[in-house]
Amino acid sequence: MYIELHARSAFSFLEGSSQPEELIDACAAMELPAMALLDRDGVYGAPRFHHAAKKKGVRAHIGAEVTVDCSRAAARYPLLAASRTGYQNLCRLITRMKMRAPKNAPPEEYAVAPEVVREYAHGLICLTGGEEGPLAAALQRGGIIRGEECVRELRDIFGRDNVYVELQRHFTRREEARNHAAVQIARKLGLPLLATGGVAYATPAARQVLDVFTCIRHHRTLETAGRLLQRNSERHVKSAQEMAQMFADFPGAIANTGELSARLQFTLADLGYEFPRYPAPPPHTPATFLRELARAGMIHRYGAQNERARQQVERELALIEKLQLEGYFLIVWDIVRMCREQNILVQGRGSAANSAVCYSLGITAVDPVGMELLFERFLSEERGEWPDIDLDLPSGDQRERAIQYVYERYGRLGAAMTANVITYRGRSAAREVGKALGFDGEMLDRLSKFVSRWEFRDSGDTLQRNFRDAGLDLSHPRIRKFFELCQQLQDLPRHLGQHSGGMVVCQGQLDSVVPLEPATMPGRVVIQWDKEDCADMGIIKVDLLGLGMMAALEESIQLIRAHHGDEVDLAHLPPDDPLVYDALCRADTVGMFQVESRAQMSCLPRLRPRKFYDIVVQVAIIRPGPIVGKMVNPYLRRRMGREPVDALHPMLEPVLRRTLGVPLFQEQLLRIAMIAANFSGGEAEELRRAMGFKRSEKRMREIEVRLREGMTHNGIDQAAQERIVAAISSFALYGFPESHAASFALIAYASGWLKCHYLAAFTAALLNNQPMGFYAPHTIVKDAQLHGLKVLPIDVTRSEWFCTLERPIENAGSHAMRLGMRYAKGLRETTARAIVRERERAPFAAIEDLKQRLPDIQKDELALLAEIGALNSVEQVFQPVPLDHGRKTATLHRRSALWQVARAARPAGPLLDDKADQRRKEKDGRRDAEEAEERSVKKEECKEESPLLPMTAEERLVADFHGMGLTTGPHPMRYRRQEMNALGVTPASHLRRRPDGSNVRIAGGVIARQRPGTAKGFLFLSLEDETGISNAIVTPDIYDHNRTVVVAHQFLLVEGTLQNLDGVISVRAKRVLPLEITQAQTTSHDFH
Amino acid sequence: MRYAAIYAPDFPVQAVLRAEPELRTFAVAIVDGAPPQETLCAMNEIARRSGVQMGMPRSLLEQCSSLLLRRRSPQLETAAHAAMVAAARECSPRVEETAADTLVLDLAGLEQLFGPPQQIATALMQRITKLDLEARVAVAANPDAAIAAARGFAGVTVIPCGGEAETLGVLPVAALAGLAGDCVTPEILETLGLWGIRDFRSLAALPTAQLSERLGQAGVRLQRLARGAHTRGLLCPDDAPQFSETMELECAVEELEPLAFILNRLLQDICTRLESHALSTNELHLRFTLDVNAAGDAAPAVRATSAVAASFTSPSGSSKLAAKDGEFRLAAAKTTYDKALRLPVPMRDPALLLSLLRLHLAAYPPRAPIVKVTLTAIPAHGRTVQTGFFTPLSPDAQKLEVTLARIAGIVGASNVGAAELLDSHRPEAFQVSHFAAPAFRPASPTVTASAAATTSALRVYRPPLRAAVELRSGAPARISFGGLRGAVRAASGPWRSSGNWWQEEGWQHDVWDIEIELPAPAASGNKRESVRHMHIHENPAHTETRNFPLRVAERKAAGFYRIYLDRAAGEWFVRGEYD
């Protein structure tokens, strides 16, 4: 019997080229009963290895190659976890090693000393390693004498029984020489030999990928990598027979693999993870403390007399106590409490909103009792899984404060972020492989451009086609190889990132469960497993998610407080504000949370929300589940009274009443199973999961049998059973939890209310928290302007770094929004803040003055500010003399500023620089009056006529989009409206008046292109003109014929048939033509 | 002072169309770059109208069925350029070769001969047209104004004196890039763009002092160019010292000796001039004009079947067009013999240089009698060397070069030099690089110790010997090669290597070290006779033989060989023999 005890996967990041599952597959194919995964300095791939092995009936041993400093050279100790203690020691050892140096430090910086290894040696078995192992390093350094010393040291560290002298054979002379020495040393020291494969990939073919990885790692090409590449393709998984034949001269080395495997008792099933117990204040236990908090909260939320709520809370508390989850709820409550104390907006989302306890504790904001939400969706006894509570926090600093609080509360080694394994995808794979093959950057850029970003991929939208579109001939052998390698690289791990919000905490030390490492972001620690791995391993996590809209809401409130003097409490907004619902019915929702996308907008006029629950439905209905399950149109028809409301069965009428007989939410699915087939809550949740993403045919069949049995028992006829089963199976895949939709709907309503009542503040907050949402800033600005907001341009004498509110003199009634300097692309924040600081000290007399007072401002920054007109208000720029027309104008203009900037930014030379410096020094000691006098003199001195012509409207547009990505001036289409009229183009706002079915032409700048996976290849275009947004639908064949025009041009004219039904307006394209409107580089939000 | 500029637009296309005139009515695009990364670098007007754009990859261009693709041809461009130069020289002795597609002529004094500038420009245009090239000609008061006008305006443009600013005013600012490449940085162009300066006129109108404050002297220069007021002299090759001699021969020379006599004379003159300039040369260019008609088999008979072909024959006679099956193509026959001799160190000893030229000519003799000889030396500063007191004398570099040239004459240039190991797992991976005397280094004790530890060396057969091998249990059991046949007494291996899988010439080798029983003495003699390959000693440091399990002490009773199986071809070879 042979067991492969030294294998590494692609989770050794660029040093292995097979997924853990592929290793297990190869192992199973070779009929090896067990295998050990020893990735480099980590157990990154261990959960996937463990689960794959479990499925295939293979035993998965866990270990790692740990980098150790051996006489100032790094060697890798292959360590296997024999017991849970051994595994915990391994994790701690790796954590200690990783935390020594910053992320991505070279091995020699983070390698640990052998003395440190000694501290964590208990429970670990050490092999002497292959070419990177300690024995090879010692032999290289000092021959067999040093080799023997090295093995002796290992024996001292790990104990006589825990060191195996490793033999590997990859048909190389150097390795064979090492083997001879290893055998001698093993015999002399009485240590057992162990044959291993030193596996780095599952099959010989994967060696090519490893060579490419080597090139990526060393920044070489395959041509220049030389002997860094693999010598041969022998590091694949081999059968017991092959290994026995290869080690026929050392049969003991093969036999020992079986014996050692038997000694390795640890598997990941024995992880020993324990969620921390919350330190309840005496005399409370966590259970009593939670009970007290929940009851108090329940009374606060529902009042003392609400019996239904009381019963629900009691029922939930009983289950929580039974499952011993009090600690978890208290920890989440603690985070929420801290956020409230610190004035950080926080709201639970996801299935937690089904829990009355969560609502009572203030974790969630949706009333599950009032909305009759199903608790079992959140937590059930049968499921045996941890509940999942996600908290939405304002993105940015506020969220970081919450994260840092968790670290402080549970210690740096008790809490960490979950990882996010970044894998090679189409573009990254093409780029890296292309570089390795020595292709030039221009060609790789071209290829990257063509690799599809659409969600929908038609059968022809393959990597093969991307190659052809990029002009790469697949019949050429090198291009063919390029293509093949790109495919092989897909989904292989590239590096470890940080999950956006998942945090795990642990009772005791988290570093004994999984190794921790520093994240790129200072103050963050990340574990080696991703979110899925954590869930699979039963590690509980709290998601602290940054939500841009939460930050925007919070900032809106602050701006309203500062500029309007009003105090807005999101928890107590007027519940049924007609302005909000009117806007929703008009699909006037740009900037509103969750209801602003083109698809949402096309549904809103039909759904016509008039109460909060309508928004909940609206948020949930434009999702893949209802769309794929064909639920959308029946619901809308029934809502408009065009179709009778019909529940699947009379029994289900109470469940489906609110959604007019159409199942839209996961909770409804669960309730259907519970009512129709007498499933318990847990069984129903099991049903949902069985039919969810990871659906298993076998499990589905089993559950369906039970479902039908239950329905038959309840007297549901066969036809109704079929309808119910069909509804469940088509919907379960993508269903959306009602609780989650309700949480989002609250935010959506709040955003709508703020937009309707405090447009200036809301727009400023939206712009200050970009990127977020569906639309680019220029569309948000244009929409706000259409709603009457005056948007003021960037001005160095007025603008802050962020967008702010101003009350213009000429328009005293309402606030205007001043664009912040953060929208000047290329202007550093430090420069912007220095400008603000200096102008507060004294106004700028001239650009020259600004330059002198801001010595760190760069030439490009000054030019940028001039280009976008931000210097127009600096007093000195006001006397342009046109070049050739002889007429004078007193209008301020950007070119005058550019003319001044060119002189001010030019180095004056050492002599004059010294003078300026001296002036500055002198100035520091003078009084303000003297300074003012000096500025006045300077202003006169600097008066110099600019010979440049003012920018034309087109030039200003180009400058605005180049410098800010938006314009506060008229929309580009407004300048061309006459031409558009001549072409018979209908403005967006006039489409509503045209009859359904008429032929129309629409034109505008593309603000969104979408090809959703659920739309069967249809492409949706949103075109913006000066009157609003129009939508076009491009069929797959029209798209195919106009692919370049549709994708590459920013301004389009679409000719087609108008669809104007129920207030939903779109044009079904027959022709798509490019338009030359402006040279300005506008942007669009593409490819969702 | 008047200057005329000639500009041939879309020059790479025009060069190709000269050779294939029947394509003029088609959309033709020229691609450049190494396959598979060829991209569009030039196109004719018809192609431009078809919508293709510069930089498009070849495979995309191939999808345009109406487009004819040709690879860029430096030879054709050189020929077209030479033809333009020759035509220009017929008008003026002073011609600046500004770029491959642009020439500038000094017209000073030509009015007496050819008439007013308009007439000269028209004549120039006609001459270029006769070369089958489409050109634009402009005359102006200074070279740069003439160039700008030629590039900017079609046909013939004659700018009246003082009218440069007015005429050039409409040209776009980007056109300055072709006139003052070093001054026109992307930054300056961007600044001008921001200022709204789009044409020469706007730039010319800016106040010079204020422009200087903002763009420095580069800006002032650009403004002078835009005003058509930038004056400079022509950069004619004649202005630089020339170390070139030409001799036309009354009788064609066929023998090396009389040729050497002529070369010696030319070299004496050149070396004397080099010495007077305190220079040496590191490169000699030799050009013979050959009498192809005298050598019946030296060149294929060339028949110029059209006026186009006849006019294409340049005065230097570097190439001709041949007609075959109605299709024009560049003739393979050459009427000139060109050789460049690169020297490792600059030298100016005529005797030494003559020796080198003789050896070179002996190795690569011209294929026809010579009627004209041109010898050009590229000047370089001489070498100064300070020898060390304890440094052993290395071979004189100049003599060494002569010796190497002699050896190259015998074995071929590619077979002389120093073997240089390549960074590769591929066995025997090396390249031959130019041999240079090694720099003196004191002996290293480490190297000595390592050399002393070496117990065996491998004599490598190049090329390897083909062998027939019988296997038993996967290991070689019997082998026959080069007349030897024997049983394998011991075998160690396989040592497996493979690589270059991304190329067609990938390799997969299984190497074995074997001990075979030596054949009878007579057979041994046969073996030595049959194995006529160059043996070289491998550097022991690279052979990895120190751990070889076979003991060298046994070699008297046995032969030790390194053999390998080429797994891709399925064939066995013997790579070498252990000493």
Residue A932 pLDDT grade (very low, low, confident, very high; cuts 50, 70, 90): low
CA-based nearest residue to A162, from A83, A268, A61, A62: A83
Query: For residue A936, what are the contacts with CB-CB under 8 A and spacing of at least 6?
Result: A845
CA distance B480 to chain A (A): 24
Q: Is B30 helix (H, G, I), strand (E, B) or coil?
A: strand
**In angstroms, what is the C-alpha Rg of chain A?**
34
Q: Does A95 or A811 have the greater pLDDT score?
A: A95
What integer pLDDT is reported at residue A926 of this predicted model? 54
Q: Regarding predicted confidence, which is higher, A284 or A916?
A: A284
Tally the C-alpha atoms within 13 A of residue A283's C-alpha that lie toward its C-beta: 0
Q: Considering only alpha carbons, which residue of chain A is nearest residue B206?
A: A947
Token pair listed for B199: 């044409």
Please name the residue ranges forming H helices in B2-142: 11-19, 45-49, 58-62, 74-89, 110-114, 117-130
Give the angle subtended at the CA of A585 by the CAs of A583 and A589, to the nearest 5°.
45
- The CA distance from A31 to A240, in Å, is 8
Average pLDDT for A467-476: 71
pLDDT at A925: 55
Rounded Cα gap, residues A41 and A931, in angstroms? 62
Residues of A in contact with B508 (CB under 8 A): 232
Q: Which of A905-919, B223-237, B276-290, B432-446 has the lowest mean pLDDT?
A: A905-919
CB contact at 8 A, B42 and B65: no
| Banded pLDDT at B295 (limits 50, 70, 90) | low
Q: How confident is the model at residue B549 (pLDDT cuts 50, 70, 90)?
A: very low
Task: Name the residue with tokens 């479990």.
Answer: A54
Q: Using the predicted structure, report yes or no on whether residue A74 has a pLDDT greater than 90.
A: no
Spell out which chain B residues touch chain A, with contact meaning CB-CB distance below 8 angstroms.
35-37, 39, 55-60, 191, 194-197, 202, 205-207, 210, 213-216, 422-425, 493-499, 501-504, 508, 510, 544, 547-548
The C-alpha atoms of residue A998 and residue A274 are separated, in whole angstroms, by 66
Q: Looking at beta carbons, which residues of chain B come within 8 Å of A867?
A: 194
Return d(Cα B42, Cα B38) in angstroms, integer: 12
Question: Looking at the predicted complex, does its ipTM rise above 0.90?
Answer: no
Please give the interface size between A and B, counted as residue pairs whose CB atoms are below 8 Å apart: 109
Interface test with A, best of B69, B194, B513, B542 (most A CBs within 10 A): B194
The answer to whether the Cβ–Cβ distance between B510 and A171 falls below 8 Å is yes
Contact B494 A231 (CB under 8 A): no
Name which of B554, B542, B562, B471 is nearest B518 in CA terms. B554
Residue A449: HSE in the Cβ half-sphere, 13 Å Cα cutoff: 14
Residue A407 reports pLDDT greater than 60: yes
- Cβ contact B495–A947 (<8 Å): no
- Between A393-402, A964-973, B528-537, the lowest mean confidence (pLDDT) is in B528-537
Calculate mean pLDDT across residues A439-451: 71
B423 closest CB neighbour out of A173, A211, A227: A227
Question: Which whole-number Å values give the CA distances from A316 to A291, A310, A323, A384, in the listed order?
Answer: 10, 10, 11, 15
Tokens at B4, concatenated: 């005329």
User: Average per-residue pLDDT in chain A?
Assistant: 87
Name the residue in chain A with its Cα closest to that of B503. A478
Gap between the Cα atoms of A900 and A862, Å rounded: 10
Give me the mean pLDDT over the A480-484 stretch: 86
**Alpha carbon separation from A771 to A591, A745, A1012 (Å, rounded):** 12, 21, 21
Is A229 close to B502, i.e. CB distance below 8 A?
no
Strand A193-196 relative to strand A163-168: parallel, antiparallel, unpaired? parallel
Q: Are the beta carbons of A471 and B206 separated by less than 8 Å?
A: no
Q: Give the per-residue pLDDT at A441.
A: 75
pLDDT of residue B520: 52
Dihedral of CA atoms A888, A890, A893, A896 in degrees, nearest 10, equals 60
- Over residues A20-46, mean pLDDT: 96
> Residues of A with CB below 8 A from B496's CB?
170-172, 231-232, 234
Return the residue of A nearest to B497 by Cα. Answer: A232
Q: Do B36 and A476 touch (CB under 8 A)?
A: yes
Nearest CA in chain A to B424: A226
Residues A820-858: tens digit of each pLDDT: 999 999 999 999 999 999 999 998 888 888 998 998 999
B77: alpha, beta or left? (left if phi > 0; alpha if psi -120 to 50): alpha
In chain A, residues with a C-beta closer than 8 Å to the C-beta of B425 are 227, 229, 231-232
Give chain A positions within 8 Å (CB) of B422: 226
CB distance B493–A947 less than 8 Å? no
Orientation of helix A134-158 relative to helix A173-189, angle to 10°: 20
Give the Cα separation of A263 and A127 in Å (integer): 14
pLDDT at A469: 66
Q: Helix, strand, or coil here: B575?
A: strand
Q: Which residues from B are below 8 Å from A481, CB to CB?
A: 502
Subunit contact B196:A234, Cβ cutoff 8 A: no
Q: Is the pLDDT of residue B539 over 60?
A: no
Reply yes or no on whether the pLDDT at A155 is more than 60.
yes
For residue A1043, give both structure tokens.
């692919």
Q: How far is A920 from chain B (nearest CA, A)?
A: 22
Q: What percent of chain A has pLDDT over 70?
A: 90
- Going by pLDDT thresholds of 50, 70 and 90, the confidence category of residue A205 is very high
Residues B497, A231: C-beta atoms closer than 8 Å: yes
Mean pLDDT of A702-709: 86
Q: Do A883 and B58 touch (CB under 8 A)?
A: no
Q: pLDDT category, B168, cuts 50, 70, 90?
A: very high
Taking only the tens place, the pLDDT of each residue in A78-120 is: 999 999 999 999 999 999 999 888 877 888 788 999 999 999 9
What is the rounded average pLDDT for all residues in chain B? 80
| A870-903 tens-digit pLDDT | 998 886 544 444 444 444 444 468 999 999 898 8
**Which residues, including other chains, have CB under 8 Å from residue A572's CB and lie 6 or more apart?**
none
Per-residue pLDDT for A1040 more than 50? Answer: yes
Of A173, A468, A951, the CB nearest to B196: A951
Residues linked to residue B290 through DSSP beta bridges, in sequence order = B370
- B79 pLDDT higher than 70: yes
Helical residues (DSSP H) of A565-717, grouped into ranges = 578-585, 598-607, 612-621, 624-628, 632-639, 653-656, 666-677, 681-690, 697-713
Identity of the amino acid at A572? H
> Is the pLDDT at A940 greater than 70, yes or no?
no
Q: Tell me the C-alpha distance between A168 and A601, whole Å.
A: 64
Q: With cut-offs at 50, 70 and 90, classify the pLDDT of residue A201.
A: very high
How do residues B380-424 score in pLDDT, each as one tens digit?
888 776 767 776 677 777 778 888 888 887 888 778 888 888 999
Query: Is A387 within 8 Å of A378 (Cβ atoms)?
Result: yes
Q: Which residues contact A455 (CB under 8 A, 6 or more apart)?
A: A1010, A1011, A1012, A1013, A1087, A1088
Calpha distance B490→A175 (Å, rounded)? 20
CB atoms within 10 A of CB A457: 13
B496 SS3 class: strand
- Going from the C-alpha of B141 to that of each of A290, A382, B137, B146, B165, the distances in angstroms are 96, 96, 14, 7, 11
Question: What pLDDT does B312 receive?
Answer: 29
